[in-house]
Amino acid sequence: MTSRLKYLLAIAAAGALLAAPATFAQTAKLEPIIAPPTQPASAVPATAKAETASTADHSKFKALQQNFKTGPQVTEACLTCHTEAAKQVQHTKHWTWESVDPKTGQKRGKKNIINNYCTSPVSNEKDCMACHAGYGWKDNSFDFTVEKNVDCLICHDTTGTYRKLPGYAGHPVYERVEFPKDSGKFVEAADLKKVAQSIGLPSRSNCGSCHFFGAGGNGAKHGDLDSSLQHPGKYLDVHMDEKGLNFSCVTCHATEKHEVSGSRYNVAAAVKGPAHIRGKTDASPAACQSCHSDKPHSGRMDILNTHTAKIACQTCHIPEYARDAIGTEASWDWSQATVMGPDGKPFARKDSAGRRAFDSKKGAWVWDSYVIPEYRWFNGASTYKVIGDKIDPSQTVHINEVGGEPNAADSRIWPVKVHRGKQPYDKVNNYLTVQHTGGEDDTALWHNYDWQKAIGAGMKAAGLPYSGEYGFVSTDMTWPITHMVAPEHDALSCAQCHSKNGRLQNIAGVYMPSRDGNRLLDLAGWTLVLLSLLGVLIHGGLRIYTSKKKEQLK
């Protein structure tokens, strides 16, 4: 009994001893430590700027020394030397807004799909064609064969002054206008002569003027493309880092005959083989493997090469997308459009970060930034719902479904952005509707806030019957993520996937150690461990017991 008391007292004394430093923490004094003088900060490396390698000074060309009144006049001048350029452009998706699925023959592209952002350009051409590489597409009558309507400047302007605004059917503004209307902000008329004389290879700003602002907002659509990529740091994209490799978009999206490689309609999802020289003929020059090969890891990390048959590079090397305060839209709810404020007038509201959250014209949005991707098996091909395709409104409508399956040779696990929405559909005919939104006419949703008129006009333009009854259906759209590649040290760690609740917890069809297991096998293993432990304890206990017995017998 006495010994037990001593034992308890000793424990209490130890506890008191440990607690003492915390109790007297406020009286503890430390001598100030003087840090050694730091080395002067090394000069920040100058921004790497690509020097102009062009052999032609376009300001010296006679054809460009005229006071152009319109964009098509500039194109006519361009074509005097670049005789085949317009014909080449007219074969690309930037001109046709159409893409044909090589497997199914399905016609896709902006012209044919109803997405769950702005929905469809049909009947809204005057606004949407601000992002068409052409002039004058204002309705179904647009002639796709007229060469002078190809817009060279939107991709080749180097002045940064050439802007195309919604409402002008793809033309730049030819006189100073207030934009947005009643905002007090003005856009100057394009100085077409100056722009025409200052052309060059497409820069990040050229591509970004449309691709960063898809769905009518900075970063809204893609998630991995926004204006932060105009001057990106290394953290945001290791290839485009302005002070480092400083890639432009076309460094990877190598172009041949104006056809830009790397379309999301035909993604190179599973490229095999070694790296090869950039710029050579290549089926998929925009793929990571074209520079890095399908076995990019070496030394201690070469075990990771065993992953490349199942996992896209992007899965590990783009741990999050929209990695900036700009963010990206997670959802767009059109059913909230036409909801008015308490005073019966349209209103708009922003979210805490200053991004659009509600607008009586367009509905409600939810934004997110630094987004953890979802993951899908993907073979590079997606099937799309196009205008007129039947839907089942009792379920979420998948506007596109990425192809691919576990263990297929052409499939990899890819990171994706899934954009969710609610949008109108024809309740009788069971298809998504086209609605006329932009413009000042009586049927434009953003003018009259009347869904019936807007859908009626949109469906008429699309050439589809409208029953007169509309509802709202939940939809989603899946976007493979491939930009915003993080530096090597920020790639996903093993445990971020190899764990029960890891990134790939919902990916089926592949065995992943630490995520997957066989219950019976696990049970048998743990039973063996416990039995071993029990054996050691019994054995040790018996040894102690018998040695004490022997001592007592002595």
Residues in 500-539 at the binding interface with other proteins, rule: CB under 8 A: 501, 503
Q: Count helices and strands (H / E) in the chain.
A: 15, 17
Residue 113 identity: I
Residues in 18-47 at the binding interface with other proteins, rule: CB under 8 A: 18, 22-23, 25-26
Q: Near other proteins by CB under 8 A, which window of 91-99, 234-242, 255-263, 412-420?
A: 234-242
Q: Does 496 bind other proteins (CB under 8 A)?
A: yes
Q: Which is nearer to other proteins, 357 or 510 (CB)?
A: 357
Q: Which is nearer to other proteins, 325 or 530 (CB)?
A: 325
Q: Near other proteins by CB under 8 A, which window of 331-339, 388-396, 452-460, 482-490?
A: 482-490
One of 167, 200, 216, 233 touching other proteins (CB under 8 A): 233
Number of chain positions touching other proteins (CB under 8 A) = 46
**Closest approach of Cβ 126 to other proteins, in Å?**
33
One of 151, 242, 320, 333 touching other proteins (CB under 8 A): 320
One of 178, 180, 186, 235 touching other proteins (CB under 8 A): 235
Pair of tokens at residue 511: 């065995």
Q: Which is nearer to other proteins, 351 or 405 (CB)?
A: 351
Rounded to whole angstroms, the Cα distance separating 129 from 107 reads 19
Residues 6+ apart with CB under 8 A from 280: none
Query: Which residue, among 431, 437, 462, has the nearest Cα to 337 in the 3D structure?
Result: 437
Rounded to whole angstroms, the Cα distance separating 400 from 114 reads 10
Residues 6+ apart with CB under 8 A from 396: 420, 473, 474, 475, 476
Secondary structure (3-state) at 428: coil
Residues in 349-378 at the binding interface with other proteins, rule: CB under 8 A: 349-354, 357, 367-372
Please write down the HEC assignment for all residues of 481-542: CCCCCCCHHHCCCHHHHCCCCCCCCCCCCCCCECCECCHHHHHHHHHHHHHHHHHHHHHHHH
Q: Which is nearer to other proteins, 235 or 545 (CB)?
A: 235
> What are residue 349's DSSP bridge partners?
358
Backbone Cα Rg of the chain:
31
Say how many C-beta atoms besides its own lie within 10 A of residue 447's C-beta: 17
Q: Which is nearer to other proteins, 105 or 354 (CB)?
A: 354
Q: Which is nearer to other proteins, 186 or 370 (CB)?
A: 370
Pair of tokens at residue 8: 């308890």
Question: Under a CB-based contact definition with an 8 Å cutoff, are residues 385 and 432 in contact?
Answer: yes
Question: Under a CB-based contact definition with an 8 Å cutoff, are residues 192 and 199 in contact?
Answer: no
Q: Which is nearer to other proteins, 281 or 352 (CB)?
A: 352
Q: Which is nearer to other proteins, 166 or 487 (CB)?
A: 487
Bridge-based pairing of strands 99-100 and 397-398 is unpaired
Give the x-and-dash track for 61-100 against other proteins (CB under 8 A): ----------------------------------------
Find the Cα–Cα–Cα–Cα dihedral 348, 349, 355, 361, rounded to 10°.
Answer: -30
One of 62, 181, 489, 519 touching other proteins (CB under 8 A): 489
Q: Which is nearer to other proteins, 207 or 364 (CB)?
A: 364
**Closest approach of Cβ 28 to other proteins, in Å?**
10
Q: What is the contact surface with other proteins in residues (CB under 8 A)?
A: 3, 6-15, 17-18, 22-23, 25-26, 233-236, 241, 319-320, 323, 325, 349-354, 357, 367-372, 486-487, 489-490, 496, 501, 503
